Amino acid sequence: MADRIAGGFKYIGKSIPISDGAAKATGRIKYTGDMMLDGMLYAKLVFSDRPHARIKSIDVKQAMAVPGVVKVYTCRNTPKVKFNSQVWFVGQKAFEDQELFPDVVRYVGDTVAAVVAEDQETADRAAGLIRIDYELLPAVIDPEEARQGKVNIHETGNPFYTTEIKCGDVEKVFTGMPGVEIVEDRVETPKIHHAAMENHVCIAAPDHNGRITVYSPCQIMYSVRMIVAKILGLPFHKVRVIKTPVGGSFGGKQEVTLEPYCALFARETGRPVKIEFDRQASIVSTRTRTKTISYVKTAVGQDGRILARNMDMVVDTGAYTTNGNIICHAMGKKLFRLYRIENQRFRPVAVHTNTPVAGAARGYGSPQVQAAAEINLDHAARRLGMDPVEFRLKNLVHPFDPDPTGGPSLGNAGIIDCVLKGAAEFGWNEKWSRPRDTGRWRRGVGMACATHVNGYYQAYQDFGTMTLRMLEDGSLMLNAGLHDLGNGTVTAMKQIVAEVMDVSPDRIEAPEGDTDVSPYDVGCQASRVIYVCGANAMKAAESLRELFVAHAAGIFGCSPDDICTGDGLIWSGENADDKMDYGRMASLIQQKHQAELIVTLTYQSPANPGSYGVNFVEVCVDTLTGFVKVLDVVAVHDIGQAINTGFVEGQIHGGIQMGLGLALAEDLAVDPRTGVVKGNRFSKYHLINAPDMPPIRTFLIEKGEEFGPFGAKSIGEIATIPIAPATVNAVNHALNTHLTVLPLTPERIIEGLRQAGK
């Protein structure tokens, strides 16, 4: 692998344009919201305006009387099947506590009814005529109050899950070692909205054989099939899921939300049904990032070594469990894979609250847990009077360190290279040592490190199957369960196959997933696509190339070792003047050998190394208004090998935008009295927009990773992890404060200055 990387590539590492970019730019691509099926009906969901209540009665008579209304659905005429929206494989153990239409609502935004009508305007009007009488129940909004268990939102109790992940002996260090500095912090991260350009949308259509076809911009089509089949009581072969073009997800479309409703309505009415959320519904009634409250306690020696760390965390999953227990494990495992800490313990407690449902969001817990850890480490460095970069370099993991919890090896971990490169490019030493500003405008710098995963190896099943064919004209067809989220997955797979087959990516087609025809894959999650799916594509291409070469050797009458290829041409080294294009050779193989050039290969991931990254941030804070302007960002990431450099840089820029929102602006801000989401529209939910984005300089560490395709590993999720704590650390450096509740809104900054007497 090292030789191939050193030798350079023809297609790998090149910034080839995304395959559907022109179609998107010209409006020729059809998103799900653009789709129109013959006879299609439109559905409008009705949401609870109470945080916790039992439905006493629902009056739908006025709604049914509206001309054009086909049917109204409530808890009285729909399946009572309980499900968990984050389950993605058969046999997965999960708390199943959600229903399509519950008779007890558990947050403002829970689904209580639906109107299906001939057009959207009629559905909307009729939905407003439904009258619901509630019996109010005690509600709990604050996760720390929920932890006390005085209000049980479900029969399983509240809190509903806890675990412990540890290594070494934390208590011995905290209680039995003299000269140890103990640094403690409470760090809070908010519920946030994914803010994809495309709102949640789905279409389902029945056919004459009782099958349901679901069109969804999803991340895991086989999960959609499984959950829809469960709720409708159908065998899998009666549910087809077609993954449609997605207008952004960031984890928000990883879980099953609208698809069961659409499928139920389509089966009941015998006609296609579309549900398309507006922004308010997408914010409140789909999924959010998990809110966390962390209590971090770290023991450091006077030489800067981290001796022990304990983190207790309250994990707010909202009204339903979804991934509540899984994200606890995910956060904990990642916490142990960034620093060499011999004694460490992580104890999360997952609680239900009467707030919007938490689920997958870019980083899957890493932004929260590593924000808590990195803010605390800056505090520790300050306590010791050490440079934060020097402090981290003393403690960061090294390549091929073991996972102290017994997980997979960290692989070729390049975080030290990232920090050294980033500090030099950012000019850290100069900026860190300059005199502190004392006027209205105060500059500061901060940095933070991060790690993330490359799949599910040793946690859950992590495999996929791909079929690669060479067609009669020499072009190639890759059939796989791909889910492109707008990040270039399809193009990257083409580049991988093109590099192996030595043919232009333009000669390769790679359709997205369709459960009727695509081989199984566990989906676009866990940062597994490049590392696992990409390796699958590479192995399939290598197998096809071997088959192609063997047949070509028979045609040329030579040894396979003598076969040469280049730019879509194939020839025998013994007769370089007799070159054939791939198409001519493929057709000859069909004619003379009566064979098809096709391979199907199932690939099981053999490892789960870490991806690593660091962000350096410079800010300027207005102490009069509390507003923060981010002046400069340097991002350095260890990604093994870039498959498409332009895509990698784009992911980093987008990840930083998301992470800056977490640090400075974004918060659903649930009203503690009413349970109403204050930030339920973009006029009240504040994003970091283009004019507010800082200049971003990106640098890549490309030293290869075993088992990754051409040495590659993930970037999409880790790109958003280190920026939030780096920004918080920069603000605290600028103001000489210790702010730990995210986001750092102007109000919180002004209050922090007031409390600090500054």
Q: How does residue 151 score in pLDDT terms, banded at 50, 70 and 90?
A: very high
As to burial, measured by CB atoms within 10 angstroms (0-12 exposed, 13-18 middle, 19+ buried), residue 739 is: buried
- Residues whose CB falls within 8 Å of the CB of residue 21, separated by 6 or more in sequence, listed in order: none
Per-residue confidence (pLDDT) for residue 176, from 0 to 100: 77
At residue 708's C-alpha, the angle toward residues 706 and 713, to 5°, is 110
Can you tell me the distance from the alpha carbon of 130 to that of 112, in angstroms, rounded to the nearest whole number? 10
> What percent helix, strand, coil does the chain show, rounded to 5?
30, 25, 45
Please, how many CA atoms are within 13 Å of residue 552, restricted to the half-sphere of its CB? 28
SS3 of 586, please? helix
Q: Report all structural domains of the chain as residue ranges with CATH numbers, in order of start.
A: 2-28+461-604 (3.30.365.10), 32-137+193-284 (3.90.1170.50), 291-454+607-755 (3.30.365.10)
Full DSSP string of 470-536:
E-TTS-EEEEE-----SS-HHHHHHHHHHHHHTS-GGGEE----BTTTSPPB--S-TT-IIIIIHHH
Q: What was the pLDDT predicted at 243?
A: 98
Q: 97 with 156: CB under 8 angstroms?
A: yes
Cα–Cα distance for residue pair 641/67, rounded to 1 Å = 60
Can you tell me which residue has the tokens 């860190």?
Answer: 432
Under 8 Å between Cβ of 192 and 289: yes
Q: Residue 104 and residue 717: Cα distance in Å, rounded?
A: 36
Q: What are phi and psi of 477, to 5 degrees?
A: -125, 120
∠ CA 436-437-438, nearest 5°, is: 115
Count Cβ neighbours within 10 Å for each residue of 147-172 and write b for 16 or more, e otherwise: beeebbbbeeebbbbeeebbbbebee
Q: What is the DSSP string of 266-277?
A: HHHHTS-EEEE-
How do residues 463-520 score in pLDDT, each as one tens digit? 999 999 999 999 999 999 999 999 999 999 999 999 999 999 999 999 999 999 999 9
pLDDT at residue 556 tops 60: yes
Specify the pLDDT at position 576.
Answer: 86
For tokens 């806890």, the residue is 162
Answer whether 742's CB lies under 8 Å from 749's CB. Answer: no
Percentage of residues in the chain with pLDDT exceeding 70? 99
Q: What is the DSSP string of 195-260?
A: --SSPPEEEEEE-TTS-EEEEE--S-HHHHHHHHHHHHT--GGGEEEEEPP-S--TTTTSS-SSHH
Q: Tell me the CB-side half-sphere exposure of residue 692, using CA atoms within 13 A.
A: 16
**Whole-number average pLDDT of the chain:** 97
Find the mean pLDDT for residues 236-265.
Answer: 98
Q: Which two tokens stand for residue 731?
A: 């603000």
User: Beta-carbon neighbour count of residue 758 at 10 Å?
Assistant: 12
3-state SS string for 524-578:
CCCCCHHHHHHHHHHHHHHHHHHHHHHHHHHHHCCCHHHEEEECCEEEECCEEEE
Pick from 558, 552, 538: nearest CA to 599: 538
Q: How confident is the model at residue 1, as a pLDDT? A: 35
**Residue type at 689 in one-letter notation:** N
The most distant pair of C-alpha atoms in the chain lies apart, rounded to whole Å, by: 87
Residue type, 363: G
DSSP label at 592?
A: I
Residue 7: predicted pLDDT: 53
With a CB cutoff of 8 Å and minimum separation 6, the contacts of 358 are 191, 287, 288, 289, 290, 291, 316, 317, 318, 322, 323, 324, 327
The DSSP line for 51-117 is: SSEEEEEEE-HHHHTSTTEEEEEETTSS----B-TT--STT------B-SS-SEE-STT-EEEEEEE
Q: Return the pLDDT at 298.
A: 98
**Whole-number pLDDT of residue 2:** 34
Instruction: Say whether pLDDT at 12 is over 50.
Output: yes
Q: Which has more pLDDT, 175 or 440?
A: 440
Residues 31-67 pLDDT 10s: 999 999 999 999 999 999 999 999 999 999 999 999 9
Residue 302 has pLDDT above 60, yes or no: yes
Element (H, E) at 468: strand 463-470
Burial class (CB in 10 A: 0-12, 13-18, 19+), 620: middle
Contact 85, 255 (CB under 8 A): yes
Q: Which residues contact 756 (CB under 8 A, 6 or more apart)?
A: 735, 736, 737, 738
Q: Are strands 41-47 and 273-276 parallel, antiparallel or unpaired?
A: parallel
Question: Which SS3 state, helix, strand or coil, does residue 302 take?
Answer: coil
What letter represents residue 292's amino acid? Answer: T
Number of other CB atoms surrounding residue 17 within 10 Å: 12
- How far is it, in rounded angstroms, from Cα 335 to Cα 450? 9
284 neighbors 61 (Cβ within 8 angstroms): no
Task: Name residue, tokens 């997952």.
Answer: 350
- pLDDT of amino acid 5: 43
More confident: 208 or 156: 208
Confidence of residue 385 (pLDDT cuts 50, 70, 90): very high
Contact indicator for 168, 308 with CB cutoff of 8 Å: yes
End-to-end CA distance of the chain: 56
Percentage with pLDDT > 90 across the chain: 97
Give per-residue pLDDT as tens, 543-553: 999 999 999 99
The two tokens of residue 84 are: 């968990």
Q: Shortest CA distance to 681 belongs to which of 287, 278, 280?
A: 280
Q: Is the pLDDT of residue 3 over 50?
A: no
Spatial separation of the C-alpha atoms in residues 752 and 758, rounded to whole Å = 9
List the Cα angle 139/140/142 in 5-degree steps.
155
Alpha-carbon gap, residue 509 to 475, rounded angstroms: 8
SS3 161: strand
Rg (CA), the chain: 27
> How distant, in Å, are the alpha carbons of 213, 243, 256, 266 from that of 205?
5, 14, 17, 6
Does the predicted model carry a pTM greater than 0.95? Answer: yes
Report the C-alpha gap between 751 and 758 in whole angstroms.
10
